[in-house]
Structures are given as C-alpha cells and as structure tokens.
Amino acid sequence: MKIAVTELGRAFGRQTRAYAEYRVFSTLARFGDLMRDVEVTLTPLTVDGSTTRCRVVVTLAGGDCLRVSARGRHVYDAINRAARRISDDVRRHTDVVLHSHDDMQER
C-alpha cells in the first residue's frame, strides 16, 4: 500500500505529514492486501489553520475508489476523523470481518 500526503502547502510541515501517514496507515494496515494507493489531502479552512479539512482517497486493488472528507478543530483532529471514516468505509466495501482480541483468544 502506497500512501501519499499531498497539498500540504505552507500551512503544514513534515511533522503533520508524518502524522497523517502514520494515522491513515495504522487504520488501514489490516486491509493492506486489498489496496493499491492512498492519497491524503490537507486543506486549511481558516487563515490561522484552526479549522482544517482532511480528504482521503483509497484506490482498491480491483480499481474501485473510496473517498471521505472530514473537518476538524485542528489538523490532527481532521486527520483522526478522516482515518476512522475511511477505515469504516473500506471495511463495509470489502466485507472484511474483523475479530476483536477477545474473539481471537477464544479460538
């Protein structure tokens, strides 16, 4: 799975890029074999960057694309919200059954 964080502009730095890559990767890692590319775009919605939008586009191995967008009170909030949404969408789209840690111990 290849993750690209784009359109950071002057508003966000390397630390924000690294966090976006980490957060999105960690929520999608369990689906790694099903994905081809992931693109994350961060856009400040206010001059001071206090409100931000994070868009995530996932291209699945079969060619389907899933897109989510989330706003947050700050860039990390927007990233966290978008990461949760894309994980839920990929799970629903692919019908991957995820087992909790407790379920795995009972087996």
Low-confidence ranges of the chain (pLDDT < 50): 99-107
Every domain of the chain and the residues it spans: 2-106
Find, among 8, 26, 29, 30, the residue nearest to 17 by Cα: 8
Asked whether the CA dihedral 64, 6, 88, 29 is positive or negative, the reply is positive
Q: Which token pair is 17? A: 């890029």
Q: How many Cβ atoms from other residues are within 10 Å of residue 88's Cβ? A: 12
pLDDT tens-digit map of 12-22: 888 998 999 99
For the domain made up of 2-106, give the CATH fold.
Double Stranded RNA Binding Domain (3.30.160)
Confidence (pLDDT) at 10? 67
**Tokens matching residue 101:** 């840690």
Which pLDDT belongs to residue 20? 93
SS3 annotation, 27-81: HHHHHHHHEEEEEEEEEECCCCCCCEEEEEEEEECCCCEEEEEEEECCHHHHHHH
